[in-house]
A = this chain, B = another copy of it.
Amino acid sequence: MFAVLTLNCSDKRGIVADVTQFLYKVGGNVLDSQQHREELGNQFFMYVKFDIKDLTCTRKELQEDMSSIATKYDMQWKLSFSDNAKKMAIMVSKYDHCLYDILLRHKYGELNTEIALIISNHLDLENVAEHFGVPYFYIPRSRANKEEADQKALELFQSHQVDFVVMARYMQILTPTILNEYHHRIINVHHGFLPAFKGAKPYHQAYEKGVKLIGASSHYATEELDMGPLIEQETARVDHSYCVEDLVRLGRSIESKVLADAVKAHSEDRIIVFNNRTIVFS
């Protein structure tokens, strides 16, 4: 049982000492800590994972005491506990490779999360959800009804107490209805090496350009299509002999990988977004 604290603020001498001293005093044992500093904006970032089995105060007191330190340094911060796994919603369309990948990793215990539900605009993958025992909700979605569809999805998220959303090749552009409610908590996977090949048919674009590596990128979804903060990227080597279908085939594994890495990092509270870039502690 451990807790994770992430924070960022203007850099100043003494932050690390103050934070670790505080944790020591309340019986926390630092298991891992990482720092980062950005020259631009003189910003300091910190990640601390600490054992809480010998905690000498309540979690509420921990929160309050940490709040005092945060005020002193004007910090953005977050504190979470390992026994309080995040609840995840998955949105899918018809492609199942990212879905299988996440469900299997979850089954293997790689992701400390709970998969609350799967939402799809198609019925195709209901049997996959069933196979893994996850509730599946079919919400058709068209240009005409997308507001209502997202409203319905949002209600499901809320009734299931969903913490974050994973677009596992959902292939739809979410409306602000959901985006605003889950700011920097919606993870999307794009089948291109962003910022190249934004938007539709990235593999066709890549083929025509004659690239020698294809890419996949996971990022937080924002209103601007495929422009949210990048979380993970991966490439795979191709050559002239690969037709578009080959790129699609090869792409499946790197899409699955970058999405899974992003889901794992987010669920373990290892990501801080700053200036549209992500700090992803390892």
Identify the A interface with B (CB < 8 A). Answer: 13-14, 16-18, 20-21, 23-25, 27, 29-37, 39, 54, 96-97, 100, 104, 108, 110, 127, 131, 193-197, 208-213, 215, 217, 229-235, 239-241, 243, 249, 252-253, 257, 276-280, 282
For A197, list chain B residues within 8 Å (CB): 195
Question: Among B30, B194, B240, which residue has its beta carbon within 8 angstroms of that of A277?
Answer: B240
Q: In whole angstroms, how far apart are the Cα atoms of A35 and B97 in the complex?
A: 32
Q: Are B239 and A212 in contact (CB under 8 A)?
A: no
Q: In whole angstroms, how far apart are the Cα atoms of A51 and B253 in the complex?
A: 30
Q: Are A104 and B97 in contact (CB under 8 A)?
A: yes
Tally of this chain's copies: 4
Q: Are B240 and A280 in contact (CB under 8 A)?
A: yes
For A276, list chain B residues within 8 Å (CB): 210
Q: Are B233 and A108 in contact (CB under 8 A)?
A: no
Other A-B pairs beyond A13-B24, A210-B277, A211-B230, 10, CB < 8 Å: A17-B20, A17-B24, A21-B21, A96-B104, A193-B193, A209-B277, A213-B215, A213-B234, A235-B235, A282-B282
For A16, list chain B residues within 8 Å (CB): 20, 24, 30, 33
Q: In whole angstroms, how far apart are the Cα atoms of A234 and B211 in the complex?
A: 10
Q: How far is the CB of A68 from chain B (nearest CB, A)?
A: 17
Question: Among B131, B215, B243, which residue has its beta carbon within 8 angstroms of that of A131?
Answer: B131
Closest B residue, CB atoms, query A213: B233
For A208, list chain B residues within 8 Å (CB): 277
Q: Which of A13, A23, A100, A252 has the largest count of B CB atoms less than 10 A from its CB?
A: A13
Question: Among B108, B209, B230, which residue has its beta carbon within 8 angstroms of that of A252?
Answer: B108
Q: In whole angstroms, how far apart are the Cα atoms of A127 and B110 in the complex?
A: 21
Q: How far is the CB of A46 from chain B (nearest CB, A)?
A: 10
Q: Are A211 and B233 in contact (CB under 8 A)?
A: yes
Closest B residue, CB atoms, query A271: B240
For A277, list chain B residues within 8 Å (CB): 208-210, 240
Q: In whole angstroms, how far apart are the Cα atoms of A257 and B236 in the complex?
A: 13
Q: Are B243 and A253 in contact (CB under 8 A)?
A: no
Question: Among B37, B196, B232, B243, which residue has its beta carbon within 8 angstroms of that of A193?
Answer: B196
